[in-house]
């Protein structure tokens, strides 16, 4: 019998792993969803961000079994989502990454923001991304990509 069940990207998964294992390790190791990254594993870099019931959530430090009964969406699931796909297209168009390690978490944060606020100010964007560290210094391109995702590509033209 499964120890617990998780719903991820619209599918239910029965899991027999240690229920205390943090969610990001289950997503990556058991379900093969390697989009969420393990950076600090201390809730200090946000590389592991996923959506839980639509809310931006760090997955590196909380037991996977705590998420039973929720709907988890990873960067892989966002590719199937209109807002998520629009953001991913804008990031590719703007080449808004260097190593790309921080990028899935950042896109998850932007998706969470745009789902609740389709027209965020620069201050709203900064606040949404405040916990996301990028060691490659891609911040300017990230901001351009986010503005283009919001404006449908008009920000670059302005
Ligand atoms: S890996 Fe989760 S916050 Fe850094
Ligand atoms: S692109 Fe390398 S950490 Fe952000």
Q: Ligand 1 pocket, 47 CB below 6 A?
A: yes
Q: What pTM value is reported for the model?
A: 0.94
DSSP letter, residue 39: S
Question: 129: domain CATH number?
Answer: 1.10.150.120
Looking at the structure of the chain, the number of domains it has is: 2
Q: Ligand 1 pocket, 23 CB below 6 A?
A: no
Question: 70: domain CATH number?
Answer: 3.10.20.30
CB crowding 105-118: b at 16 or more within 10 Å, else e: bbbbbbbbbbeeee
Q: Ligand 1 pocket, 133 CB below 6 A?
A: no
C-alpha–C-alpha distance, residues 65 and 4, integer Å: 6
Which of 55, 77, 99 is the endpoint of a domain? 77
Over its length of 158 residues, how does the chain's per-residue pLDDT go in tens digits? 569 999 999 999 999 999 999 999 999 999 999 999 999 999 999 999 999 999 999 999 999 999 999 999 999 999 999 999 999 999 999 999 999 999 999 999 999 999 999 999 999 999 999 999 999 999 999 999 999 999 876 665 54
State whether 85 and 139 are in the same domain: yes
Atom number in ligand 2 closest to CA 98: 1
Which of 77, 95, 128 is the endpoint of a domain? 77
Which of 13, 47, 77 is the endpoint of a domain? 77
pLDDT at residue 138, rounded to an integer = 93
DSSP letter, residue 38: -
Atom number in ligand 2 closest to CA 136: 2
SS (H, E, C) 67-103: HCCCEEECHHHHCCCHHHHHHHHHHHHHCCCCCCCCH
State whether 102 and 70 are in the same domain: no
Whole-number Å distance, alpha carbon 136 to ligand 2 midpoint, is 4
Biggest distance spanned by C-alpha atoms of the chain: 58
State whether 11 and 71 are in the same domain: yes
In a domain, 157, yes or no: no
Closest C-alpha to ligand 2, atom 4: 134
E strands, the chain, where? Answer: 4-8, 11-15, 50-52, 55-57, 71-73
In a domain, 103, yes or no: yes
State whether 20 and 60 are in the same domain: yes
C-alpha–C-alpha distance, residues 142 and 92, integer Å: 10
Atom number in ligand 1 closest to CA 61: 2
R_g of the chain computed on alpha carbons: 16
pLDDT at residue 158, rounded to an integer = 47
State whether 66 and 125 are in the same domain: no
pLDDT at residue 156, rounded to an integer = 59
State whether 38 and 87 are in the same domain: no
The domain in which residue 120 lies consists of 81-151
In a domain, 47, yes or no: yes
């Amino acid at each position: 019998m499964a120890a617990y069940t998780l719903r991820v990207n619209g599918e239910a998964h029965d899991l027999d792993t240690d229920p205390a294992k943090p969610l990001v390790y289950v997503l990556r190791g058991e379900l093969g969803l390697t989009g969420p990254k393990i950076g600090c594993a201390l809730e200090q870099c946000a590389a592991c961000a996923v959506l839980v019931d639509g809310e931006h959530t760090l997955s590196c430090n909380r037991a996977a079994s705590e998420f039973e009964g929720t709907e988890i969406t990873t960067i892989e699931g966002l590719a199937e989502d209109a807002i998520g796909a629009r953001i991913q297209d804008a990031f590719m168009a703007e080449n808004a990454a260097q190593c790309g390690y921080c990028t899935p978490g950042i896109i998850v944060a932007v998706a969470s923001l745009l789902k609740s606020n389709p027209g965020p100010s620069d201050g709203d964007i900064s606040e949404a991304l405040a916990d996301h560290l990028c060691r490659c210094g891609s911040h300017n391109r990230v901001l351009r990509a986010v503005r283009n995702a919001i404006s449908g590509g008009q920000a670059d033209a302005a």
